[in-house]
Amino acid sequence: MRIPTGHRATPRAVVDRTRRPDLTIVLGCLLTAFAIVAIPLLGVPVVWLLLSGVVVGLAPGALVALMPGSVPPAQLAAALGLFYAAFYLGMAAMQPLAGLLRDITGSPAAPLFFAAATMVLTVVALGAFRWIERRRSTSPRP
């Protein structure tokens, strides 16, 4: 189901207007993690579920847009292929893992906490990406 939001409210417009993709990624991931954790903890889960559905869209486009600036143009297609392969394999693997956590803990909230943790780990991965990028740009080239 698509909800018409107009161009000004799209995640791409947020990144384009602010010119701060890292901030958009971090805020999108952390707000999503908060909303997911709030579902079992703060009551009125439909509100938090809707909020998570709105803010989860902030990060993915900005994450994919990091790729062209980090690999040579000749390797971009292969890099995007690896990115999406890892992304979808991760999606496939994480769902059974979340179910296993539910079975082990006996808590129906465990998969939600796991999902929130993966959103926070995305922020950590962005930090690692930027750290590697800085090291690569300051190291002498052979």
pTM for the predicted model, two decimal places: 0.81
pLDDT tens-digit readout, 4-49:
544 455 555 566 666 788 999 999 999 999 999 999 999 899 999 9
Position 1 confidence tier, pLDDT thresholds 50, 70, 90: very low
**In angstroms, how far is CA 86 from the centroid of its own chain?**
13
pLDDT at 85: 95
Strands (DSSP E) along 17-63, which ranges? none
Q: Are 51 and 36 in contact (CB under 8 A)?
A: no
